[in-house]
Every structure is written in C-alpha cells, then in structure tokens.
Amino acid sequence: MADIQNYGSFLIAILIFQAVPGAGTVAILDATARGGVRAGMACVGGTLAGDALFMAAAALGLAALLQASPALFGALQWLGAGYLLWMGWGMLRSTASAATAAPDAPRSPRAYAWRAFAISLANPKVMLFFVAFFPLFIAPGASAVTLPLMMLHVTLLSLLWQGLLVVMGREVARRFARRPAARTVATRLGGMALVGLGLKLVAGLR
C-alpha cells in the first residue's frame, strides 16, 4: 500500500507487537477489573496517546537522536525498567493488605488514562518499536504521506486490540466480582508480571 513495503508483514508485525503481553496490557486489564469499561477505555486512550507521542517524535527526528546518543537511549531504558518495577511493587503492596483492609478507592477514568500514558512513555519496548520499526517498511523514495499512514495503521490496530482486551477484562471482572480472594490473586499476578518485566529489562541492560 502506497510506499509501505512488505505491507502484509507490516500488519502482522503490528499485531504481534500488540499481542505480546506487556505493561500496557496489564494496566488495561487492571483498570477494567477495578473500574469497568469506562476505566478500561480511558486506559486505552492513555496508551494510544503515549504511542502517538512517540510516533510524532519519531517523525520529528527523535529516532535519529536516540540512535546517535547511546548514553541517552540507555538512560531512558533504565528509567523505563525502574518505572515498571515501581508500578509492580505498588500493586504487590496494595494487595498484601487487600484481604483485611477496605477495597481500594475507585479512581476516575482520567486517573487511569494518565497512568496508562505514563506507562506507555516509560516502556522501553514502545521506544524500541517506533525507533526501529518504521524504517524497516518505508520504501526508498517514499512520499511524505507514508509515515503518517503507517502511524494511522498502528493507531487503528492498537485501538481494536486494546478494545478487545477491555471487553475480555470486563467478563473476567464480572466473574471475580463476588470473589475477593480471586481479585487479590489477579492483582498480585499483575504486579508480579510488571516486576518480572522490569527485572528482565534490567538484566538485558547490564
């Protein structure tokens, strides 16, 4: 399509990137379980906003800047890994007293959106994706419309996938609605997933 080379592989790569569980996936499912569809979709909006910011930055030359400055890129990677660890630890701490304390106060959809936005910006996987991904599929001599068209593909496919996560998360939340122990286990698993992702990133940065 247009100046996007290997178009089929381009679409498949986007879907694979979305399907691989990451911090954004955990945040969307957690928000949906805690606050319902509105909270989940607000979280999706925050994630898409973070992705859009990275895509816009790539279009303005941030990708070239990061590639030219390994020290800056490394610092951003450490920041992202540290943030994931902090988020995961926070979820583990909140669930440690969930069985004996009152349930967490519900957050507003805006709070979930800002949380997802911050996670998206701090996730090195997102940075790596937009820094290295687009050049692989831009044909030589591509027009100025090509990059915005690729960004639109990413946004639409991300919206479809993450919207599906919200629907699935709502069903899971309904099943857990009357089972506090199950909610505690699910939240702990989410926290463990975030900590695991953070530790994996830290191990790769050494």
Q: With beta carbons less than 8 A apart as the criterion, state whether 3 and 143 touch.
A: yes
Which string of DSSP letters, residue by residue, matches 121-162? HH-HHHHHHHHHSHHHHBPTT--TTHHHHHHHHHHHHHHHHH
- Radius of gyration of the chain measured on its C-alpha atoms: 18
Please state, in angstroms and rounded to a whole number, the distance separating the CA atoms of residues 32 and 166: 6
The model carries a pTM of 0.64
- At 96 the pLDDT is 42
The pLDDT value recorded for residue 183 is 61
Q: How far is CA 195 from the centre of its chain?
A: 15
pLDDT of residue 100: 37
Helix axes 23-59, 124-132, angle to 10 degrees: 40
Q: For residue 132, what pLDDT is reported?
A: 65
95's CB contacts (< 8 A; 6+ apart) are 184, 187, 188, 191
Question: How far from 140 is each of 55, 58, 65, 159, CA to CA, in Å?
Answer: 20, 18, 21, 29
Domain ranges of the chain: 7-205
Instruction: Give the per-residue pLDDT at 43.
Output: 92
Greatest extent of the chain over all pairs of C-alpha atoms, in Å:
63
Position 168 scores a pLDDT of 80
Query: If phi over 0 gives left and psi between -120 and 50 gives alpha, with beta otherwise, what is residue 51?
Result: alpha
From the first residue on, what is the mean pLDDT of each consecutive set of 10 residues in the chain (206 residues)? Answer: 78 78 78 85 93 80 62 67 75 54 60 86 67 71 79 92 85 62 66 74 66
- What tokens appear for 79 in the block? 């920041």
